[in-house]
Amino acid sequence: MKTMEELRRNFKLLDSGVAGANYTYLDNSATMQVPESVLESICDFYHTSNSNIHRGIHALSEKATDYYEEAREKTREFIDAKYPEEIVFTSGTTGSVNMAAQMVEHLISEDSVIIVSEMEHNSNFLPWLALSKRKKATLKIIPVLADGTLDYDAFENMLSEKVAIVSVTECSNVTGIKNSVDRIIKSTREKTNGLVLIDGAQGVVHGRKSISKLGPDFYVFSGHKIGAPTGTGVLYVKKELQDKLRPGYFGGGIVYQVYHDDAVFFDGARKFEAGTPNYVGVIGLGAAIDFWLDAEKNIGKEVIEESEASIMKKLEEELGKIDGINILGKPDKRFGCLSFTTNKLHSYDVCKMLDSYNIAVRSGHMCAHNYLRALGAESIVRVSIAPYNTMEEILYFVDCMKEILSVSAMEGRTECGRMSMEDVEREIINDFAEIGSGINQYALITACADELQELPEEEQNEDNLVKSCQVNTWLKTDWVENKFSFEADSESVVVRGVMSLLQDIYMDRTKEEVENYNCKLIHADFVKNFLNHDQINGINEILAKVQQEAI
């Protein structure tokens, strides 16, 4: 593996024969694809070495334990920690932050101050919010500026001798903005006796730093962000700090003696790894680290980082040329991802339409509600890259975005007249089948959405909310003089369109008609292009309830 092209070939899902021709995976901040060497290492372990680790004296257990501890050493090397016993394996970043919060809970009092930032992923916000409530401590939040960066002056003013812990992200999972964690650690050390946790879930992938030089007390990341199995994570805990901390949870494997009224704990990482760990996943994590260290050695860490930087720069430049796209944040440089909104479409609609082009991006709030609110957004589209992505993929994505935003609604469907519910359904399915797939179906569903009357604002309430939808969708049903009333609305154009079609079928039907109707439209192929599994289930539940009421 000596070139970026050779690196990409290690990810089989990206091959046209597996995921579909020209499949463009741009959802890497959520999870990275897995290299073949990781999959092979897991299969090989199960075939030749599977056994529970530690405490076993038979050959298989000894062999499995060796592999597990080798992964600890590989992780130490990967983040350049000083000692392998500083590496605690967890279930992921969320598990790591929660464990860290539990480790320090006895050090927090009512006088304590906990500092997080407005930029945080919920995984690095909610544990500290909960801890502050349990201990009645003060939680302070570093605000962000209009350009999406942290307000470091505000942070400096928060520091005092009461600060117990500062927990901030290294790199935003929304804007790709990297924080000056060096400055945050330095200021915290100079002005407080507080501890520092750095959330490296994104930072460990893009421009990884030396932990021994950076000097945090805790550093956390997830294995699946670097192509390791899900359910694996790392909690770095500085060696000098470990004796002051309590285990986050308790069980076998963390003690070497237990009495009626006390227990004697192991030193180092084992003190914090209760129960049977995900040892197979950790071995897969070790294989993923091997893969990236090998790539950095043979291709060059700088070459990989420069490739990502040029792709991110091109992505922002080209998206910025498209009318109606609003890119969040204005940093000098982005790492790994950027997010945007459009003036025309909800983020959900953009994501679903891109999916029809075999492009995977993510829509929603990215588990960063506070950050989006500060940036004036509610739901966004995020594009995130990995080292295996190419410039050609980015240009293809940009071209597809231009096409999606240029589409105008075509003429809507013709009135069906007084036909049976089954005949209306059949005609709808035929209309969408005849028009073809992709952009044409999107144009037609948009036209259908335009025909749906907006639900009054007072009816857009909790009672009418379709609970399973990713976007706010409301469905109000009622019986008026033995006729069915079907009203709906949604923030999403495509969901509105589907609701309009269902209204064509159900509106003004008698109880007898509804009782005898078996709705197949919601499972039609074209509907699956517009709604996800949870949304279909949510609407199905409501329609089933309606049918039950008709009996």
Q: Annotated catalytic sites, by residue?
A: 367
Instruction: Report how far residue 23's alpha carbon sits from residue 34's, in angstroms, rounded to the nearest whole number.
Output: 15
CA 68 to chain centre: 27
Q: Which residues of 58-71 are buried (b: 16+ CB within 10 A; e: fewer)?
A: eeebebbbebbbeb
Instruction: Report how far residue 421's alpha carbon sits from residue 425's, in angstroms, rounded to the nearest whole number.
Output: 6
Paired with 24 in beta bridges are 359
For the beta carbon of residue 39, count every other beta carbon within 10 angstroms.
Answer: 15
Nearest to 427 by CA among 517, 524, 511: 524
Instruction: Report how far residue 111's alpha carbon sits from residue 455's, in angstroms, rounded to the nearest whole number.
Output: 50
Paired with 168 in beta bridges are 198
E strand intervals along 91-216 = 113-117, 138-142, 163-169, 195-199
DSSP, collapsed to helix, strand or coil, labels residue 214 as helix
Instruction: Report how far residue 498's alpha carbon sits from residue 491's, in angstroms, rounded to the nearest whole number.
Output: 12
Instruction: Report how far residue 115's alpha carbon sits from residue 196's, in angstroms, rounded to the nearest whole number.
Output: 9
Cβ neighbors of 546 (< 8 A, separation 6 or more) are 477, 484, 506, 514
Contact 501, 488 (CB under 8 A): no
Contact 437, 356 (CB under 8 A): yes
Element (H, E) at 487: strand 483-490
DSSP, collapsed to helix, strand or coil, labels residue 218 as strand
Nearest to 298 by CA among 75, 3, 10: 3
Paired with 483 in beta bridges are 480, 510
Encoding tokens for residue 324?
């109606």
Say which amino acid occupies 327.
I
Instruction: Report how far residue 232's alpha carbon sits from residue 277's, in angstroms, rounded to the nearest whole number.
Output: 9
DSSP, collapsed to helix, strand or coil, labels residue 85 as helix
Q: What is the largest CA-CA distance in the chain?
A: 81
DSSP string, 22-70: T-EE-BTTT-----HHHHHHHHHHHHHT----SS--SHHHHHHHHHHHH
CA 209 to chain centre: 22
Cβ neighbors of 72 (< 8 A, separation 6 or more) are 84, 87, 89, 269, 282
Instruction: Report how far residue 273's alpha carbon sits from residue 85's, in angstroms, rounded to the nearest whole number.
Output: 11
Cβ neighbors of 232 (< 8 A, separation 6 or more) are 89, 90, 91, 92, 222, 223, 224, 278, 281, 282, 284, 285
Instruction: Report how far residue 51's alpha carbon sits from residue 423's, in angstroms, rounded to the nearest whole number.
Output: 60
